[in-house]
Every structure is written in structure tokens, then in C-alpha cells.
Amino acid sequence: MAQVQRMSRLMVKTLRDDPADAETLNHKLLVRAGYVRRTAAGIWSWLPLGKKVLENVARVVREEMDEMGGQEVLLPALLPKEPYEATGRWEEYGPELFRLKDRKGAEYLLGPTHEEIFTQLVKDQCSSYKDLPVILYQIQAKYRDEARPRAGILRGREFLMKDSYSFDTTDEGLAESYALHREAYIKIFERLGLDHRIVSAVSGAMGGSASEEFLAPAPAGEDTFVDCPACDYAANTEAVTFAATAVETAEHPAVEELDTPDTPTIETLAAHLGVEASATLKNLLVKVDGEIVAVGVPGDREVDLGKLGEHLAPAVVELVTAEDFEGRDDLVRGYVGPQGLEKVRYIADPRIASGTAWITGANKPGKHAKNVVAGRDFEVDDYLDVVVVEAGDPCPKCGTGLRLDRAIEIGHIFQLGRKYADAFQLDVLGNQGKPVRVTMGSYGIGVSRAVAALAEQTADDKGLCWPKEIAPADVHVVAAGKALQTELALEVSQKLADAGVRVLVDDRAGVSPGVKFTDAELIGVPQILVAGRRSADGIVELKDRKTGEREELTVEEAIARLTA
Amino acid sequence: MAQVQRMSRLMVKTLRDDPADAETLNHKLLVRAGYVRRTAAGIWSWLPLGKKVLENVARVVREEMDEMGGQEVLLPALLPKEPYEATGRWEEYGPELFRLKDRKGAEYLLGPTHEEIFTQLVKDQCSSYKDLPVILYQIQAKYRDEARPRAGILRGREFLMKDSYSFDTTDEGLAESYALHREAYIKIFERLGLDHRIVSAVSGAMGGSASEEFLAPAPAGEDTFVDCPACDYAANTEAVTFAATAVETAEHPAVEELDTPDTPTIETLAAHLGVEASATLKNLLVKVDGEIVAVGVPGDREVDLGKLGEHLAPAVVELVTAEDFEGRDDLVRGYVGPQGLEKVRYIADPRIASGTAWITGANKPGKHAKNVVAGRDFEVDDYLDVVVVEAGDPCPKCGTGLRLDRAIEIGHIFQLGRKYADAFQLDVLGNQGKPVRVTMGSYGIGVSRAVAALAEQTADDKGLCWPKEIAPADVHVVAAGKALQTELALEVSQKLADAGVRVLVDDRAGVSPGVKFTDAELIGVPQILVAGRRSADGIVELKDRKTGEREELTVEEAIARLTA
């Protein structure tokens, strides 16, 4: 006899009020509906309903990973230090890595991702090009000691992740493994019912070349991304690359010096001159590996230090301090202009195109200069897109004004290249009989995070509202009344379960129909079947959780409908 | 189209030789057949075939836990220190517990078992007797920093475990939850095809009253247990309780002192007197919470300090040192006899029954005494069974000589009682309107260890030999030849897969039929189907991995047989 989940026996305690520390919708609802409970900061327990939802997401991920030829493995979460030292990540991860010692004093870490261990495993297992390509994946608890764990299960310190790794002998092979993942991810997120966008991404500390993020738009998201309302362009804000503008050919008057006392900032300067900030050129001084570098951007824009750092990596970028100006008469704080900076490398935003004219510092205290023309009065050493992207910025692909939105990162795919293979000398014998260095990809899906993203995207003001494949049950049967209703509810539930329908039945005694209805809406199973007033006539009510549409049916009709 | 696992693509590298550090059969075979690889001491990676076997075991466990009404949850593995401090286990676990700090210096542990966290969870979730009983379980990585991780996956430092916890308001309820687990465990181990014995166990550091172990007899096992060839008695050696023997009524001569120079040990004494060691009484001195206590056992038996410690817990038992004899003229090292120990508590094995006569120390250097009769010449303060059990010892139930065997502990069920509920004041409102303290059980199955136990019990000299439900595939198809054989093998494999059979096919090019046969035997899928010499006629060979029976069949017959 198939099993029915009876709420009278199930450990599910719903709460009327939002938890005090909850800021995001998914956090509030998943706690209130009894799916998860906090065990420590950023560390969560999955209760019976939550475990089912989590398992459903994992199942979809597993099925699609298998379908594309991925091989499931399970590596440990407790990992030795040495491989992570070999790649430098033991240090690079900083305080985000959980580190510990065993009884003998040997050092270990709790795996945040497993590139090192998979590389070593493939080195042990594969010796010939015939053994490749191979795609390995696992679904496993991962650990990151977040400084500010927040938003419930969205950013936890222990979380469930699918991580996979591809191993190929050629760049084309890597591109193919990457494409396989991209397709599988699209299928996975479609099956999960997650609205998502694929955006270009910077690869961050992972190293490597091509990289895309899968983002689920949601107000609770910690990622900002841009997308174009006209074409298919979408990108992580840090990855937006502004196309170089056309050279302006108009003739400009000669440089003219302006008296601008006490205007060391763009705001004071624009106010003093009565011009738009966008007419001015802002020159930020930074240190790159200790050397002073100037970065020019339009006066109404901010420098994105993250983007700058990405462009210049592995060089380290720092802000300058007062001491850096000592003995540098060429650098006049607040009045720097590129036309007087012969000794300083000048990096500029593509908007400072050759031929454009600007108001900028005159390299004298209290003085600015106008008609300072790029390419005529100063040279740009490197054009790099380093400004913080803003809504309305032109799409790099079609020029339409971009939109700016918040989203949850639910997946990430990277072409790592040979970084890890180099660290561990991962070679296989090539088809020419010579060793070939392997090239790798690394791919992640936040399984527990996908649950949070789904909750965010599908919930309404009544509660959670799961897509069918992910819901903890197919139908939520409510016994709204006394013994008669309970008897009918249990009878119908058993018939449905025997027909393969996953049933949650609210058979709790001493709980009012009103509370049961509210709980059913909160829990969010897609179909709600109520055994109520007309139970004696064998009439039940079937309600669609999402649309709220309701219909009275005979028991037989309801069963036929739900098993169709 | 259903998926076929193709060895040409699967990451499975078999080894001809046993790994150098492998001592046990399961370790050798699981590594050689490509199921697992060592990542660090006691920390293992599960490769594709191994992951399937592990998952199959987990599935059986999950199904039976669900069937008996268990609710699956998933708690974190990274746990805060405080609840474990509240029960004292933070200290008690000693160096076996992995401890770590987060970036803020807060202390955490990697869960070895989760009694504390489940108790807190139920305290949060359940408030009334109506919410109980509840049985919660999880299948999750567990951590123990073993001093000497060994035997491959049999005793790892990270391992997969099913742990469950029952919560009841009455002792009868606990007994019922315990019985439910006992039955479910029997079903699980039967489905897994694990030969097992249920033995009485001491509860160790877990506390509590009733406790039984599920043991899988295997030479690699680290547990020793006894069982009776005549009745159903079986027990962990530390839990064997020898029944008090009948009082001997014969008249004994008076005590007689013997001159026994240089005989401080039983061996030297027995040799000097020409008697059996069993005729002598050995008196071991120990300190119990600092006080000297004498323990009397027959001269041919050893004291089991573990059993003694269990009997006297929470008192701490230590061996005496030379300093303890200072100023104690009543204690003559090597010549102690109970007849002169008025100031010392005397604990004796039940074999030193009242009325039995012994040769023992005369409490004078170089002197022993004979005809020293229990109850006449000395009094026993406490009778405790503290001897190391030996093969041939009488069964406590029927008196038949016991057998002694080695086994792997695959499951353990405990009636914890109210120890943890007391620590966290876990009460629910009783049906009389008053708070009732909850009583708990704790139950474990070593999921990864069960894989090792299965390998140990079912392997033969050719390799692994899995039961059907646990095997990584139902049939291993071998393409033994060139293109023709490979084509037939793949065609049959696909047909089988489409019919729901789990297929592993060896379609590797450039690998000889001999190597493929050897690998198939090593990998241990129950049925082996060979497309060989007679492939052109549509004739294949079906071989039973266990019995070695082989039969030539047409392809259609083979498919019919395997899909039956």
C-alpha cells in the first residue's frame, strides 16, 4: 500500500509570524511553512517537507547530468591542505575557508569547491586520450565561512551544491563540454520552473577564460545584472564591456585654464562652473602593484574597483593614501589632469575616446582646464571599461539602454583551461604518442539555493507555491470538518497514493478548517483537495493553489482528474 | 532511450595488484575494481561504480525507514559547540571529535552523531503529546577522527551513516519505537543480502539502557562477538554476562600455607606447584576513583578492563602503580589473597562462587595458600562478570559452549531514555495537562560500512560478487572480439536498458577478451553476458557470476531471461 503523508504524524509546525531575523521572502516563508530551521548562523536543518523539495531539485539535476553523460561520484567534504596549497587557494580563499587540524596536527579544510581533488583523481584514473573526455559530478554539502550569512538558505555557510568538472585534451573539446553543461543547465532550470537569464561573467578567483552565470531574477538576489530590452544581451554588471565609441572628429578650441578655487571634487567643480558632471573628466589615482596609475572616467561615473582589479589581475590594485603624494610635485591632489602626467600610466574608460574634449584638473592647486582633448592634449595608455554600470547605459551589442536588475546566482559555468592541470601536471598520452596537457571546465549549481530562488519567484501573498515537479506532494488533501470529513479525506488520499499520486493529507484533529486552509496555502502544494460540507454526498472541492480556481467534483471525478 | 553505462566512457580503472597498504579483502577489491580511491587517511572518494553501490544501499535503507514511518530530514554536519557542551560530549569525545573555529572564533564540530541537535529540534517543533511519537532520520556524512583509520572504507574518518532518533512520552512508546527499528533493520539487512547477527551490546559513551548491535560476521571485522550453537544467544564479548554458578557444597580442608618462592605470576605459580592455572585465583589490583580495589578471577582468565569499566561507570578505573603500594603493608605484590584484605573492596567473577576452593596468595612474600574457600575464608563484596570471554565458555542462556567470531558492526540500536531530554529540558504537554519529559532512542546504520561488509561477505577469489539489489548494474555485457561483437553487445545492451535492465557494457576497443572477462569477474555484477565467437549466429553466453554456471543462448532468449 502506497504511503500517504499524514500531517497528524508529520513534523511540520507552521508559524503565524515571520521569524524576527528574516529579511527575505524565501527565508520568511520557508521557516513559517516548516521547511527549514536555523541551527546556527548560516547553517540550516531541512525538515521533512524541506528535505523532499531539496531532494526533488537534486533529482532533476541528477537526471539531466546523467542524460548529458556526466558520471556521478562522491568525494569527501573534509579535504587535505596540500592540494589547495599547490594551487595557492589555501591562502587565496582567506577567512572564507573553514580550516581545521586533525588529532595529529595535520591541516584540513572543508571543501568550498573541489577542482584540486578532481584534478588529482583524473590524474590517477586517466592516462590516455582514450580515457577522455570525462565529465564527473557530485551533489554534496559545501562549506564557505561567509562574513555575513544572510537571507536564510540563500547564502549559507553549509549548503548543497552540484559541482561538476570536465576534462578534455583540446580547446574544442572543452568548448563542447562547456556547451553540454550550458544546454543541461537550461533544461534543469526549465524543469525546475525557474525564470533565469544567462549572463557573461567574470571568472573571479577561479581563473580561466569563458564563464557564464545563470541568474534567477528576484528582489532578494545579491547579484546585480544588466539585460537589454531589445536584443539578447545580458551580463553580470562586472562583466559589462562598453564598446569603444567612435572617434569624434570635430575641431576643438585650444586648452584654456580656469580659475576654480576650492573645487577638489567633481560636485564642487560642476557647481562652480555651472556645467553637468558628465562634461568633466574624473581622474582617480590608484596603486597597481605599488606603482601610481591614473584612471580616467567621465565625471558622472564611478570607477568599479572590482572590474579594474579583474582587468589588471594578477596585479594588486589599492587606493592611494596621503603619503603617496609625498615628493610627487606632478600629482596635485584634487586637480589632476591627464595632460600633465608624463610619468604616470593613464588608463581610461572607452568613453574618453580619442577626439573627445573634457574639463579636467590643470595640475595646479585651484586650477582646472577646459577643451582638454583625448589624443591631442594627452594620450591614453590603456582603454579599459572600469565604470560602474548604470541603468540606461547603451547595450554593447545593439546600443539600446540597458536594464539593471537584482538576481540570485543559481548556476555558474567556467572554462578553466589548464590552470589546475598545470598545477598538478595532469597530462595524458595523446594520439600522437606524446603527453598532452589536459584542459578543464568547472560547473556549479546551488541546489539548496535553487530551492530559495524557487520560493522567491513562485510565492504569493498567501505563501509558497511550488511547481509540480518540485513540490513536496502533488496534492494536499484537507479534512475540513469532523470524523466524516477525515474519513473521506483519508480514503481519497489512499486511493490517490495507490495510483502513484504523492499525497499530503491534513488529518489533524482539533485544528479548525480555517487554520488548515491557511496552512495549505502557506505550504504551497499545487493542488488542494478539500473534503468539507458536502462530504456526505461524496462531493469534494479541488482548488488550484496558483490561480485560486476552485471546482466542486465527485470523489471519482477528483481522483480521475488528479491521476490523469 | 534508456541509458547504458559504457566502459569505454566510464571512469573505472581496474588494477591487477592489491594496493600496498590494503590489509582487508574489501579494501583490496574495492580499490582494485575501481569503486573507491583514498583521498587522505581514512577519507575516501567514491568513483562512479562505487557511488552506485553506495546509493543502492542508501535507497534500501531509505525505503525501509519510510515504510516504518520514519521522516527523512537533513541536518547540518557542521555543528555549534554549545549543545555538545550542554551534554558533556564536547569533552567526552576527546580527540575523536573534529573541532574547528569560524572566522569569528566561535567553536564548531563535525557531527559524529546528532542526538543533541535532534533533541533541540524536537523541543522547537513539538509541544504536545499529540505531536509524538516521532521518528526522524537522515543519511549523511559523519565524522570521527579515528586514531588508526584502517581497512579501507570500513573504518573511515568521513563516512556515510543513517542515523535516526525516536521521541516518545512513555517507556512503552520507546520500546515500540525500538522494536520498529529492530524489525526495519532486519528487513534492511536481509534485502542487502548481509548475513548478520543481533547481539546484546553495552551502550558505551551514549548512555542509556537497552542496546543491541547488528553484526556482519567477517574476518576483517573489528568486533568480536560470541554466539551459541545451540540456542539463539549472541552478544558482543563485552556484553556477555556469565550466570552465577551453583554453590559448591563439598567440605574443604582448612587453609594451608605453601612455600612458593619467586612465583609472583600465575604462570610461575602453576609451574612451581604442578597444577592447572584454573585451580588458582588471580587477584588484580585496580584503582576505582583513586581507591584500591581487588578483582578476583580464575587464574586462567583475563580481566576485561572494558567490562569492568562499564560495570563501575561513571567511576574511573585505572591500573595500580608501584607508588600505590607505599605504606600498604596489607598489599604484598604478587602474593595477594582475598582472605587477608579486610580494608579492600573485593570484586569477583561469578566463577568464584561461594563454596569454591582456590590456591591464591597468602599475603606474605613468597607464600601462597591452598584450600582458600569463597564464603568461608573470604567474602566477596560484589560479583561482576569481568573476564575476557573465551570460546567454549558456557552460554548464559543454555550452558552450551559459546563460539567466538569476528564481525563488522553494521547497525546499532539504543534506548537512550531521558539523558538528552534532561540535558535540554525536552518536555511536552501530556494528556493530563502536565509537562511530560520525553524519552528517546538513537539508531544507526553505517551505510558506507555496509558496502564494505557486503564486499567482505560476498567476494570470492575472482573479485566482488554483489547481490542483485546492490550491484552497480544487473548485467555486465562483454564485447569479446572486434567490431561485430561490439556492435552486437551495444545492440543487446540498448534493448535490455530500454526494458528497464541496468546495463554495464564493456565496449572498450583495444582491450583483449581475457582482460574484459577478468575485469567483469572483479567488478562483480551478478550476470555476465558475452558476445563472443558465435556472435555472427546471434548466439551469446550468459554466465552467473556467483555460481559460474554458463549457458549459450540466442540473443532473444538472453533478453527474455534477463528481463523476466
Nearest alpha carbon to residue A108 among B152, B42, B448: B42
The H or E element that residue A517 is part of is helix A513-523
Query: Which residues in chain B are closer than 8 Å to A157, comparing Cβ atoms?
Result: 78, 102
Q: What is the DSSP string of B393-459?
A: PBPTTT-PBPEEEEEEEEEEEEEEETHHHHHTT-EEE-TTSSEEE-EEEEEEEEHHHHHHHHHHHH-
pLDDT in tens, B412-470: 999 999 999 999 999 999 989 999 999 999 999 999 999 999 999 999 999 999 999 99
How close is the nearest chain A Cα to the Cα of B188, in Å?
Answer: 18
Closest CA relative to residue B450, chosen from B45, B153, B31, B21:
B153
* 3-class SS of residue A509: coil
Residue A326, C-alpha cell as written in the block: 609625498
CA angle A111, A117, A118 (to 5 degrees): 115
Which residues of chain A does B8 touch, with a Cβ-Cβ cutoff of 8 Å?
130
Q: Which of A67, A77, A121 sits opposite B141 (nearest CB)?
A: A77
> Which chain A residues are within 8 Å of B49, Cβ to Cβ?
none
Shortest distance, CA A12 to any CA of chain B (angstroms) = 7
Q: Chain B partners of A107 at a C-beta cutoff of 8 Å?
A: none
CA dihedral defined by A316, A317, A319, A322, rounded to 10 degrees?
A: 50
B424 with B479, same domain?
no
Contact criterion met (CB < 8 Å) for B39 and A76? yes
Backbone torsion region of residue B384, taken as left when φ is above 0, otherwise alpha when ψ lies between -120 and 50, otherwise beta: beta
Task: With beta carbons under 8 A apart, name residues in chain A contacting B98.
Answer: 78, 100, 102
* Domain assignment present for B249: no
- Interstrand relation of A435-437 and A134-143 (parallel, antiparallel or unpaired): unpaired
Cis peptide leading into residue B80 (ω within 30°): no
Last residue of a domain, which of B330, B348, B383? Answer: B383
Residue A226 in any domain: the answer is: yes
- Count how many domains chain A has: 3
pLDDT at position B204, please? 43
Q: Count H helices, E strands: chain B?
A: 13, 30
Residue A65 parent element (H or E) = helix A48-67
Taking an 8 Å cut-off on Cβ atoms, the answer to whether A102 and B145 are in contact is yes
The span from the CA of B227 to the CA of B421, in Å, is 35
Same domain, B441 and B416: yes
| pLDDT score, position A239 | 74
Positive or negative, the CA dihedral B2, B8, B11, B15 is positive
**Contact, A251 vs A375, CB < 8 A?**
no
Residue B416 in contact with residue B441, Cβ under 8 Å? yes
- Alpha-carbon distance of A403 to A360, in angstroms, equals 30
CA distances (Å), origin B155, targets A338, B24, B188, B379: 68, 11, 21, 45
Judge: A125–B54 Cβ closer than 8 Å, yes or no: no
How far, in Å, CA of A5 to CA of B476, rounded? 38
Domain boundary among A354, A383, A412: A383
DSSP at B322 = G
The DSSP letter of residue B73 is: -
A125: which chain B residues are within 8 Å (Cβ-Cβ)?
11, 13, 34, 37, 47
User: In chain A, which residues have pLDDT < 50?
Assistant: 203-208
Residue A7 resides in a domain: no
| Chain A with chain B: Cβ pairs closer than 8 A | 163
Choose the mutation target among A44, A46, A78, A84 for the interface with B, i.e. most B CBs under 10 Å. A78
Interchain CB distance below 8 Å, B74 and A98 = no
Contacts of B76 in chain A (CB under 8 A): 39-40, 43-45, 141, 158
Q: Tell me which residues of chain B have a pLDDT lower than 50.
A: 203-208
By CA distance, what is B509's nearest residue in A?
A: A130
Interface residue of B8, B52, B72, B75 to substitute, partner A, most A CBs within 10 Å: B75
Contact A69 B9 (CB under 8 A): yes
The interface pTM score, or ipTM, of the predicted complex is 0.87
Q: Which residue has the cell 539535476?
A: A61
CA–CA separation, A342 and A109 (whole Å): 48
Query: Is residue A101 packed enough to be buried (19+ CB in 10 Å), middle (13-18) or exposed (0-12)?
Result: middle
- Cell numbers standing for residue B298: 580464575
Q: Which one of B100, B139, B162 makes the best mutation probe of the A interface by having the most chain A beta carbons within 10 Å?
A: B100
Same domain, residue pair A177 and A71: yes
**B246 conformational bin, left if phi > 0, alpha if psi -120 to 50, beta if neither:** beta
Last residue of a domain, one of A349, A383, A417: A383
Closest approach of chain B CAs to the CA of A123, in angstroms? 12
Retrieve residue B418's grid coordinates: 531521558
What pLDDT, on the 0 to 100 scale, is given for residue A207? 42
Whether A532 is in a domain gets the answer yes
* Minimal C-alpha gap between A73 and chain B (Å): 5
Interface probe with A: pick from B103, B114, B120, B148, most Cβ of A within 10 Å? B103
Q: How far is B126 from chain A (nearest CA, A)?
A: 8
Chain B residues touching A509 at Cβ < 8 A: 130
- Whole-number Å distance between alpha carbons of B113 and B420: 13
The number of beta carbons lying within 10 Å of the beta carbon of residue A173 is 18
- E-state strands within B279-324: 281-288, 291-298, 317-319
Q: Are residues A207 and A270 in the same domain?
A: no
Is residue B176 within 8 A of residue B416, CB to CB? The reply is no
Q: Is the dihedral of CA A164, A77, A310, A86 positive or negative?
A: negative
Which chain B residues are Cβ-neighbours of A143 within 8 angstroms?
Answer: 78
B419, B498: one domain: no
Q: What angle do CA A256, A260, A266 make, to 5 degrees?
A: 100
Q: What is the pLDDT of residue B484?
A: 94
Can you give the three-state secondary structure of B467-530, one letter per residue? CCCCCCCCEEEEECCCHHHHHHHHHHHHHHHHCCCCEEEECCCCCCHHHHHHHHHHHCCCEEEE
B516 in any annotated domain: yes
Residue numbers in B near A76 (CB within 8 A): 39-40, 43-45, 141, 158
Q: Chain centroid to CA A46: how far?
A: 22
Nearest CB among A8, A47, A157 relative to B73 is that of A47
What's at B28, amino acid-wise?
K
- The residue among A66, A74, A168 with the most chain B CBs within 10 A of its CB, best to mutate, is A74
Report the pLDDT value the prediction gives residue A208, as an integer from 0 to 100. 43
Q: Do A157 and B78 touch (CB under 8 A)?
A: yes
Distance separating alpha carbons of residues B133 and A168, to the nearest angstrom = 54
Taking CA atoms, what residue in A is nearest to B54?
A: A74
Compare all CA atoms of chain B with the CA of A15 and give the residue at the minimum distance. Answer: B125
Cβ within 8 Å, pair B77-A158: yes
Give CA A515 to chain center in angstroms.
37
Does one domain contain both B307 and B204?
A: no
**φ, ψ dihedrals at B415, nearest 5°:** -95, 105
What's B519's domain CATH number?
Answer: 3.40.50.800
Q: How far is CA B241 from CA A124, B118, B350, B389, in A?
A: 51, 33, 9, 9
CB pair distance less than 8 Å for B45 and A121: yes
Contacts of A71 in chain B (CB under 8 A): 10-11, 48
Tell me: do A498 and A353 sit in the same domain: no
Q: Name the residue in chain A with its Cα closest to that of B116.
A: A39
What is the residue-wise DSSP string for B202-225?
Answer: --GGG--S-EEEEEEE-TT-SEEE
Strand partners, B367: B259, B364
Same domain, B275 and B372: yes
DSSP H helices, A68-206, are 81-86, 89-92, 115-125, 171-192
Q: Is residue A528 part of a domain?
A: yes
Contact call for B40 and A141, based on CB within 8 A: no
**A73: nearest CB among B9, B46, B134:** B46
Any domain includes A463? no
Residues in chain B with CB shorter than 8 Å from the CB of A99 are: 100
Cβ contacts of B46 on chain A, cutoff 8 Å: 73-75
* Contact across the interface for A80 and B13, Cβ inside 8 Å: no
Residues B142 and B42 in one domain: yes
Identify the DSSP state of A378: B
Contact A98 B95 (CB under 8 A): no
What is the distance in angstroms between the Cα of B428 and the nearest Cα belonging to chain A? Answer: 14
Interchain proximity B11–A134, CB inside 8 Å: yes
CB contact under 8 A, B51 and A74: yes
CATH assignment of the domain containing A221: 3.30.930.10
Provide, as residue numbers in chain B, all residues whose Cβ is less than 8 Å from the Cβ of A40.
Answer: 76, 78-80, 108
A185 and A234 inside one domain: yes
**Cβ pair A125:B11 closer than 8 A:** yes
Residue B395 within any structural domain of the chain:
no
Q: Which of A48, A76, A78 sits opposite B73 (nearest CB)?
A: A48
Distance, in Å, from the CA atom of A115 to the CA atom of A207, rounded to the nearest integer, reads 11
Judge if B504 and B372 occupy the same domain: no
- Asked if the Cβ–Cβ distance from A74 to B45 is below 8 Å, we say yes
Domain range for residue B452?
Answer: 33-71+115-240+404-456
> To 10 degrees, what angle do helices A447-458 and A48-67 make?
110
- Residue A272 maps to which CATH number? 3.90.960.10
> Cβ B73–A46 below 8 Å, yes or no?
yes
d(CA B121, CA B125): 6
Cβ-defined contact of A39 to B71 (cutoff 8 Å): no
Contact A13 B78 (CB under 8 A): no
**Both B268 and B365 in a single domain?**
yes
Identify residue A536 by its one-letter amino acid code.
Answer: A
